[in-house]
Amino acid sequence: MSALLTRALEKRANTWSQMQEILAVAEREGRDLTAEEREKWDRAEKDVTEASQDVERLERMARLDTVQRDQLVIADGPTGEDRGNTDPEAAYRGAFGQYVRGGMSGLDNEQRQLLMSNMSEVRAQATSPGSAGGYFIPTETLNQITETMKAYGGILSLANVLNTTSGNPLNWPSNDDTANVGAILAENSQITEQDVTLGQKTLGAYTYTSKLVRVSLQLLQDSAFSIDTWLPRKLGERIGRAVAAHLATGTGTGQPEGLFTNATAGKTGTTGQTTSIIYDDLIDLIHSVDPAYRQSPNTRFVMSDSALKMVRKLKDGNQLPLWQPSTQMGVPDTLLGYGVTVDNGVPVPAANAKSIGFGDVSAAYVVRQVAGGQLMRLEERYADYLQVGFFGFMRLDAKPDDTSAFRVYAHSAT
């Protein structure tokens, strides 16, 4: 664990303890908070929020660092006899890195053949790269994009992700047999019939683009700058932000259907709770999900940062805070014993809003990704600016799967 992350975790825990002490003093003396105590509380709450953001940021960087950077920084590909001793994926990465920096004119014949051939499963479904200028992103680089997307959208890191090699409609059967039970069979009696009812769901493949990134020729020629690392990260951030919003509240028409969009309300706030929630509501929300799902290690709360701020102020019947900040890297903050995932694509607390979800997201939600993001290089379009344009795109769809595994808290309308 880095020293920065350790300090951020300690700062958050210490500040949270100070906030609880402010409340404890007022409760022992049987009075409301004074103006000075409210001011201290607000300052401390701001510090907790900033420290939490630092923790999330540093943990995100730790996850990104698990990608082997030495495999991504490939400004110069192998040549001559060395290339014959290199595995096909490594050779392709080298050719791809050369292409990013110098375009097709910077490649030798072997490298051009590598880019245009189907040398691995990752590139098996490429679409005429020679004419369109698009080439499949190498496996390790694509993994980096995926990690970045997870960092910017919490739901993606929890869902059941299916990777396919093509974007054809993907059908699979669905079934809810929980209402059917077996029975005692009397002697010499015929067994009664109870058919299994199957449904069908279909996942398509919407195309998400990073939009255009323009890079100067000077930067491309600068071997000290790792364009092979920087560019995929930018693509991943942009695509990830767009995906995150749809995975939370997508309409399902022309875009994925979000996890929260049509989720069943396990608890609805009483009149007046348009932007608030109480302890009993959270208990009811938890118990609206069947114990079979509550016992899963993947079960947790999902909410926006604004909803987390609301929840942090809640206490149980013994006046103990419900939210417990973690002091260890990799150990999540907990709420009533369950982990909390923050995804700002989830609606903020508001009238009628579904601002908090609870359940096993891996069972409740499925994401289909078409293997292989692609990158295109626009060399002539910005030549008079001495710039090269890049954009990436990848195909994805998502839908609720087992709707019994996830419930939401809905605020009152008034």
CB atoms within 10 A of CB 201: 13
- Dist CA 288 CA 168 (whole Å): 36
DSSP reduced 3-state for 6: helix
Q: What is the pLDDT along the chain (414 residues), one digit of tens a residue?
A: 577 878 888 888 888 888 888 888 888 888 888 989 888 888 888 888 888 777 777 776 665 554 433 333 333 334 444 444 556 777 777 777 777 767 776 777 878 777 766 333 333 333 333 333 355 667 666 776 777 777 677 899 899 999 888 888 888 777 777 778 888 888 888 888 888 777 778 899 999 999 988 888 888 777 666 776 677 777 778 888 899 899 999 999 999 999 999 999 999 999 999 999 999 999 999 999 999 999 999 999 999 989 998 998 888 777 778 888 776 666 678 899 899 998 989 999 999 999 999 999 999 999 998 876 777 888 888 888 888 888 888 889 999 999 999 999 999 999
d(Cα 123, Cα 150) in Å, to the nearest integer?
23
Q: Which parts of 159-263 fold into alpha helices (H)?
A: 217-221, 227-249
Percent pLDDT > 70 in the chain is 82
Backbone angles phi, psi at 327, to 5 degrees: -115, 10
Global confidence as pTM: 0.70
The enclosing H or E element of 354 equals: strand 354-360
- Inside any domain, residue 64: no
Q: Is residue 147 part of a domain?
A: yes
Short-list 320, 349, 317, CA closest to 335:
320
Structural domains of the chain, count: 1
Cα separation, 313 vs 200, whole angstroms: 43
Q: Is 398 inside any structural domain?
A: yes
Q: State the Cα–Cα distance between residues 221 and 104, nearest whole angstrom.
A: 15
Per DSSP, 186 falls in state: P
> Which pair of structure tokens corresponds to residue 83?
């290339």
Indicate whether 7 belongs to any domain: no
CATH for 370:
3.90.1690
Q: Which domain holds residue 223?
A: 132-173+199-414
Q: Rounded distance, CA 213 to CA 385, Å? A: 13
First to last CA, the chain: 46
DSSP secondary structure letter of residue 120: S
Please state, in angstroms and rounded to a whole number, the distance separating the CA atoms of residues 411 and 153.
23
CA distance 256 to 262: 12
Residue 150 lies in a domain: yes
81 domain residue, yes or no: no
**Bridge partners for 408 per DSSP:** 265, 357
27 lies in some domain: no
Q: Quick check: 213 and 382 in contact, CB under 8 A?
A: no
Residue type (1 letter), 102:
G
Residue 346 lies in a domain: yes
